[in-house]
Amino acid sequence: MEYYRRPDDAIGSIEIVFGDVEVYKCTYRPSLNFTPIRAAYDTLVRWDSSPLLRECTRWIRKHGDDPLGVQHYAIFFDLGPYYEVVCRRVDCSIDGRLVFAANEPQGYKHRYGG
């Protein structure tokens, strides 16, 4: 959850909720490669291809699950770590109003109770 000041001087909120998370990674500044940070600075980005996504997809298959719908998202805030999440769903809300939703594909069922 992040809070910001709206143009009318009221406090607003932005919320990003990740669902069916496979991997969560937090990389701190001294270890960072600055190329991905530029794209993910104050912005939620989806990487279509990445070493982390490929590794996660291989692991899911190795353990008998279907990686269908698994996506790699990243975001970087001022002086904060570079957050990466490999998951199947993400919802973004501004001031409690859903503005973006990426859900698992139609018909996908997770092996553990889908």
pLDDT in tens, the chain (114 residues): 566 667 787 787 888 899 999 999 998 876 666 666 777 877 888 998 999 999 999 999 999 999 999 999 988 877 778 899 999 999 888 888 888 777 644 433 333 333
In angstroms, the CA 53 to CA 58 distance is 9
Helix (H) or strand (E) holding 56: helix 51-62
* Token digits of residue 87: 């998951």
Residue 80: per-residue pLDDT: 74
Give the length of the chain.
114
User: Three-state SS for 30?
Assistant: helix
Q: Which of 74, 20, 27 is closest to 46 using CA atoms? A: 74
Query: CB–CB of 12/94 below 8 Å?
Result: yes
In angstroms, the CA 103 to CA 105 distance is 6
